[in-house]
Structure formats: structure tokens, C-alpha cells
Amino acid sequence: MPSFAQSPLARLVHALVLTGAFSAATGFAATNDLRVWRNPYGKVDFTRDLQLLAQMHDHVAANTVGITAYDKAGYNVMPLMTYSGVPELSYAIGYRLWAPEDYLAPTFLRRLSNIKVFLPNAEEVGHGALHATSPFLTEYIEFIAPGAPRSLNRKQYSTEQELGALISSLGGFPIMAHPWYEPTRYEIYTNFKGMEVYSAFAAVKRREADPYYTTVDRNAVLLTKWDAVLRLRPETIGIAVNDHFGPDAKLPRTFDDIKDSGKIVVYARAATLAAYREALERGAVLAVNDRGTATKNKYPRLSRVTVAGTTLTVALSVTGAKVLWLVDGKAVGDGLSYDFGTAPVGSRFVRAEVYAKDGSVVYTQAFALRPIRDVDGDYDVDAHDQAICQTLAGVASPRQEHLDACRDW
């Protein structure tokens, strides 16, 4: 086998240095040479996959009136959830609402028209500022004050970091619930796989003139925090939720646009819990602020996503919607396509916001960016990336992202 200095890879690096396209001293590309290394919609079959309408955070529990309202509103996926995990709080239950047949009568389940998947879930309230929901978790977990003796018979946590790690270790998918609080501590968010980026709760409270929600737009805070977290962990899933204000909420008619406004659409292979989770994990999700009044669920969906060279293009299910592109949280352009080759050097992600005529907003997940030849994922190009490419020939099952990056060498 020829030495690295004699390899085509080394000759290419030498040529890039001579032309100024690559700096051997710093290891960074001198030009903005980026690629999409994670396309959340890359595995979606837009002609066959189901578009499951889902709720991820509402406190309906096993209430048949609330579940029926969601069924009539067209939902396919519904959580069985309420507050959980703090025994001294009267409103927090001390068990999991699972399985559905243990809490819902067979005759009721047979009457449902649209709900195909029930989701184990709860809001783990704790005593800190950060709450979390725990979709897919079927074991009961419990907050315990720091330093207090722990029970050998219970799964317990004391900190936000422990909470996220515990949910994951037991098979759940930890999601930060309404993280609009201060102080901002983004480092604790890395134990979570998702976060809420729109909440009907905040929208209702703002319209009700609650000072906490009028002095600062808490939904705007959620988006700002999501962008900050995406810089650290661009695969963090953003979701929109109802949180007490779903289709069964008792609100004045003037709140019809906010009622049942927080939801997600998941592009899944089938209407099963396993298929839903698989799609959620890879980010095949749209977060929706649905501002329809007389008629809901008229917001745009993606009907195609393509990446060609440095151009991202989306096709939408409706005409007349406006697409805004954001790089690292800052607006950079509009239209159905965006050339991320024009993004600032060092950019980490692109996402899109789709604005409908009725005021609805649809948020795509983040398209993660890296320098073309960044193999190890540290956002620079150096000798370590070269070494990985050099040794790939001897790796039985190399990771696809390594193959993609080395191919660009």
C-alpha cells in the first residue's frame, strides 16, 4: 500500500493548499465549502409515507372526552399523559398511564376513527425550572431532592441532567417542555433529544394579558433557544404542542385561532408506535403553529425535499405559502430554494419556516451542515480527517457519513 504522502488524497491536499482553497496551517477551508451531513427528510418517501398528525404534550390523560375531541380533530397519534413523578404534588400521578387497554375500554377504542397510535408519555415536573416530557417511556420515574436517600425500588433523579439521561436509559425520548425560563444553560440541554419550539399555552396566556407572557414573547424565546441548542446539537428535534389548550379546551371564540394550534406532522412508514418512533428519531417531522379558525389542518406540508450541490429545495403541498430560510437562527433568504454555499463560514445548520395565508407557521427540522471534508464531525478539516479516510479501506462497515466526507476528498 503506498504511503499517505504518495496517495491521491495527499496530492489533492497539496493542490488545495497551492490554490488557496485549503490552509495546511489551520486545517480550515478558506472558502465556505459546506455539505448537508444530516437531512432529516432524506429517507422520507413522499409518495408513500403516511403524514401522521400527532400531539406530544397535552394533559388529557385517559379522559375519553378529551381523546374523542382529538380523534374528531383528525389526530392519528395521541399521548396518554399528565403530570407525574413528584409524590408530594397532588396533581402528579405516581404511575404510568400505560398500556391503553388498561385505562380505555375496548368499546371506546373501537369507536375511534382517526387515532391509530397511543403514546406512553408524562410530564416529569421535578422542582427545577426545566420540565421534561418522556414519550415512549413505560416505567415510572420520580424526582427526589438532591442529597435525599434514594429508594432501591424506584428509578429516581435529582437534576435536569439526570432526568434526561434516565429517560433515555429506560427507553424514552426526553423532550424539554417549554424551556423559556432563565437562566440559559444550554449545556444541560444536550441530554435531551427534542424541545418544544411552539406552545399554545404561551399563546393563550399572552392573549389573556398575563404579564409573564406579555413582557416577553415566550414562544419567540423557545425559537431562540432552539437555535442556540441546534448550534451544539443540530439533530435536536423541535416540536409544537397544545399543553392544556387542545380541541377540547374551553376558550372564547376569539381564541379559535390559538385553540389546538400546537401539533406536529410525522412522515412515517406506517401507523404503528414503532414506525412513529423511527420517523421521529430521524427527524422526519414538521412542527406546526396552526392558526386556522373555522377549519384546522390546512397548513402547508412538504411534498418533496432535494439537496443538489449546495442548493436546498422544498416543494409544498399548497400554493401561496412563503418560505423563509434561516442559518444558525438568522434569516438569510426566502423562496423555495436556498444556496447554503453562500452561508457564513462556520455555519452549523439551515432550517426553514413556512408561512401560510391564514397565519399558520410550519417549522422544518434542521439540515445540519459541515465542511465538505470534515470526516470526524469537529467542524474543521485537519490531519485527523485525513487519517480516517486513509484507514477506511480496512474498516468492515464504515459509517455512511465517513464515506460521504471521504468521497469529497
Look-up: residue for cell 465538505? Answer: 372
User: At 388, is the pLDDT very low, low, confident or very high (cuts 50, 70, 90)?
Assistant: confident
Look-up: residue for cell 434569516? Answer: 331
Look at phi and psi of residue 389 and say left if phi exceeds 0, alpha if psi is from -120 to 50, else beta.
alpha
* Confidence check: pLDDT of 314 > 50: yes
My answer on whether omega of the bond before 99 falls inside 30° of 0, hence cis, is: yes
Tell me how far apart the alpha carbons of residues 363 and 353 are, in angstroms, rounded to a whole number. 5
Report the pLDDT value the prediction gives residue 173, as an integer from 0 to 100. Answer: 98
Tell me if the domain spanning 50-291 has CATH number 3.40.630.10.
no
Number of neighbouring beta carbons within 10 Å of residue 200: 28
User: At 382, is the pLDDT very low, low, confident or very high (cuts 50, 70, 90)?
Assistant: confident
* Confidence check: pLDDT of 16 > 50: no
Cell of 175: 423532550
Taking 3-state DSSP, the helix, strand and coil percentages for the chain, each rounded to the nearest 5, stand at 25, 25, 45
Mean pLDDT of 308-326: 96
* Confidence check: pLDDT of 146 > 50: yes
Domain ranges of the chain: 4-33+372-407, 50-291
- pLDDT tens profile 217-276: 999 999 999 999 999 899 999 999 999 999 999 999 999 999 999 999 999 999 999 999
My answer on whether omega of the bond before 183 falls inside 30° of 0, hence cis, is: yes
Report the pLDDT value the prediction gives residue 129, as an integer from 0 to 100. Answer: 62
Mean pLDDT of 274-300: 97
Whether 176 contacts 189, CB under 8 Å = yes
Q: State phi, psi for 173 to the nearest 5 degrees.
A: -130, 90
Mean pLDDT of 8-26: 43
* Confidence check: pLDDT of 117 > 80: yes
Mean pLDDT of 271-285: 98
Q: Is 395 exposed, middle or buried (CB count within 10 Å of its CB: 0-12, 13-18, 19+)?
A: exposed
Q: What percent of the chain has pLDDT over 70?
A: 89
User: At 2, is the pLDDT very low, low, confident or very high (cuts 50, 70, 90)?
Assistant: very low
Cell of 394: 480496512
User: At 399, is the pLDDT very low, low, confident or very high (cuts 50, 70, 90)?
Assistant: confident
Mean pLDDT of 281-288: 98
Q: State phi, psi for 11 to the nearest 5 degrees.
A: -65, -35
Number of neighbouring beta carbons within 10 Å of residue 221: 17
- What does pTM read for this prediction? 0.90
Tell me how far apart the alpha carbons of residues 218 and 213 are, in angstroms, rounded to a whole number. 6
The rounded Cα 302 to chain-centroid distance in angstroms is 16
Q: State phi, psi for 194 to the nearest 5 degrees.
A: -155, 170
| Three-state SS at 406 | helix
Please tell me which of 21-35, 155-169, 185-199, 254-268 the model is most confident about, judged by mean pLDDT. 254-268
Report the pLDDT value the prediction gives residue 99, as an integer from 0 to 100. Answer: 97
Q: What percent of the chain has pLDDT over 90?
A: 73
Look at phi and psi of residue 104 and say left if phi exceeds 0, alpha if psi is from -120 to 50, else beta.
beta
Mean pLDDT of 328-350: 95
- pLDDT tens profile 56-81: 999 999 999 999 999 999 999 999 99
Report the pLDDT value the prediction gives residue 340, as an integer from 0 to 100. Answer: 96
Mean pLDDT of 174-190: 78
Of 100-109, 158-167, 175-184, 269-278, least confident by mean pLDDT is 175-184
Q: Is 324 exposed, middle or buried (CB count within 10 Å of its CB: 0-12, 13-18, 19+)?
A: middle
Mean pLDDT of 117-140: 89
Report the pLDDT value the prediction gives residue 181, as an integer from 0 to 100. Answer: 81
